Chains A and B, each alone.
Chain A
């Protein structure tokens, strides 16, 4: 029995060609009954190791949570600063504990989750302290960093080549972000716009441009590699 598409000889237990997926169809040829190579649809039970590990991580985070609660409650007889601690532990759990629940953690989902958790925590702190800085400062800054990081991670994850371009571009974007931070600081906290952000901007842009140049110029890249290898 041969595959009509790719021409490979097929064992009698095959219902379609393992190389090209063509369904076996030779009505005039009699096939000998042969058992499949491996039993059909008999999957092993799913292991519990991953679940056990994520359970341990949850306990590791619950422990300081409980300690903070009792420390706050016993010293102040009411809940005062526990909310801040709980929020911070929650954010830490989202960043470090959440990946353990996934077999193959996807950074494109987890990275935005980290920023959302951080933004929510800052919003809580803003509300709890009666501050007026969240919407005008923290939210746009977090949003900007989130946008740059997500783009960076997504491009690195999917692109097999041209990573130097991505890293160089991220440096330049981060430089631009510095200007935004200073501008938002000045309008939120009424601090004079003195232009300190120009210094990191210049350094980051220069470095970013250097990386872009190296990405585009193979000879220069090799010269740098030759001098800096370790």
Chain B
């Protein structure tokens, strides 16, 4: 009976973007990210487990485990929902191969907060947010017997998934002409590693109203404005670490782009790409307006369906190559890992991922107070930054695996120059080194 059940489990090939992540894994690193919601009351673990049991069935490609085929990895729906886990002193604890074989997703409950940690092969931030929202809706319906209307990412958890949600949209929207992958390397941040694999999260809370008012004064969006703040912070940090301008390196920010906004796709799997605006400090000082212009023009040129279809084509063409397909998985892994190590994370200083404005149905608002988006640290660089806005607050989560909170200090310094106030909190340990 159990065997029959296993055979009927839904399985899918990894989508185009997801293929690199299992190969790029290391002994102590895998590409995971976290989305969490803070509720107005303490989370009832038992009810949350029941809600999870229901939700996993609706999202067979997200609540999935990573399996090995002869030539490729694939995702298989989990037989039963994973158990709710407890929070440790830091988020995004390394997900081992063994754990991914059971379930490549974790649900963690701590006090009022429920967090879901996804291995990036399962889905991107948009898909993850849909999963989290539905999990909370199911929880609220079971716990408080409220009725929350469908729409705005909320789906019927008892229905079967629709085929468009499960599709790999990359091949569908690949353009006819690929684009060159050649790109320059960026300045890499560095510092003294934190002991025991500890990850330090520092969350800045900014008022949306104040930030938008300032962004509009510069005639840019919040993403561009905050991206420019980040680039300015990176510039001044590099200046501090290496005052010799002639030998400074490029400041580049990887800004993920949600392709669902450019193509008519409603997939719940990975469907995002990134744009990398850059400034070269060797060319002289940059004003804040200049940095904003660089980002605006880069996004304007690349954040279009036509350009992105070319980027997609580049990746999809590699995947279609018969020789690549016929190479056995272990060898393919070695090659992909070598390519990832060589180019993967050196093209930008850090990822600056904006999930945008998170909204929930009005019926849900009294129960949810906050959302957070935390990216995992990269394999070879020490920092990443994820942000989103909920209500009137921007939640900007820096994560790092080094002791020095230098980037955060410079980021706050730029905010202060702009006249923006920010509230900050962190999971710092007593021994974490801070420079006064």
Instruction: Spell out A's residues near B (CB within 8 Å).
Output: 5-11, 13-14, 16-22, 35-44, 47, 49-50, 53, 103-104, 161
A contacts with B: majority SS: loop
Tell me the minimal C-beta distance from A85 to chain B in angstroms.
30
* B111, B425, B427 — most chain A CB neighbours (10 Å): B425
Contact between chains at A37 and B203 (CB < 8 Å)? yes
Residues of A within 8 A of B144 (CB): none
Q: Is B428 an interface residue (CB 8 A)?
A: yes
Closest chain A residue, CB of each to CB of B97: A49
Contact between chains at B421 and A38 (CB < 8 Å)? no
Closest chain A residue, CB of each to CB of B91: A38
Closest chain A residue, CB of each to CB of B85: A44
Residues of B within 8 A of A5 (CB): 436
Residue of B89, B408, B433 near A38 (CB, 8 A) is B89
Residues of B within 8 A of A104 (CB): 193
A18-B408 CB under 8 A given contacts A7-B416, A49-B27: yes
Closest chain B residue, CB of each to CB of A162: B247
Contact between chains at A19 and B424 (CB < 8 Å)? yes
A161 and B231 alpha carbons, distance in the complex (Å): 23
Residues of B within 8 A of A14 (CB): 424-426, 428
Chain B interface extent, by class: 35 or more
A10 and B421 alpha carbons, distance in the complex (Å): 11
Q: Is B201 an interface residue (CB 8 A)?
A: yes
A202 and B111 alpha carbons, distance in the complex (Å): 72
A20 and B411 alpha carbons, distance in the complex (Å): 13
Closest chain B residue, CB of each to CB of A1: B423
Q: How many A-B contacts are there with CB distance less than 8 Å?
A: 99
A171 and B247 alpha carbons, distance in the complex (Å): 25
A16-B428 CB under 8 A given contacts A21-B435, A22-B436, A53-B27: yes
Tell me the minimal C-beta distance from B371 to chain A in angstroms.
15
Residues of B within 8 A of A20 (CB): 405, 409, 434-436
Contact between chains at B88 and A42 (CB < 8 Å)? yes
A6 and B414 alpha carbons, distance in the complex (Å): 12
Q: Is B43 an interface residue (CB 8 A)?
A: no
Q: Is B180 an interface residue (CB 8 A)?
A: no
A104 and B380 alpha carbons, distance in the complex (Å): 12
Contact between chains at A8 and B412 (CB < 8 Å)? yes
Task: List B204-228 residues whose CB lies under 8 Å from chain A.
Answer: 205
Q: Is B285 an interface residue (CB 8 A)?
A: no
A9 and B193 alpha carbons, distance in the complex (Å): 27
A21 and B198 alpha carbons, distance in the complex (Å): 18
Residues of B within 8 A of A41 (CB): 89
Residues of B within 8 A of A6 (CB): 409, 412
Contact between chains at A103 and B28 (CB < 8 Å)? yes
A17 and B247 alpha carbons, distance in the complex (Å): 33
Q: Is B96 an interface residue (CB 8 A)?
A: yes
Tell me the minimal C-beta distance from A181 to chain B in angstroms.
35
Residue of B89, B423, B428 near A9 (CB, 8 A) is B423
Q: Is B422 an interface residue (CB 8 A)?
A: yes
Could you show 23 A-B contacts with beta carbons less than 8 Å apart?
Answer: A6-B409, A8-B412, A8-B423, A9-B421, A10-B424, A10-B425, A11-B425, A13-B425, A14-B425, A14-B428, A18-B425, A18-B428, A19-B409, A20-B405, A20-B409, A20-B434, A38-B89, A38-B91, A39-B87, A39-B89, A43-B198, A49-B96, A50-B28
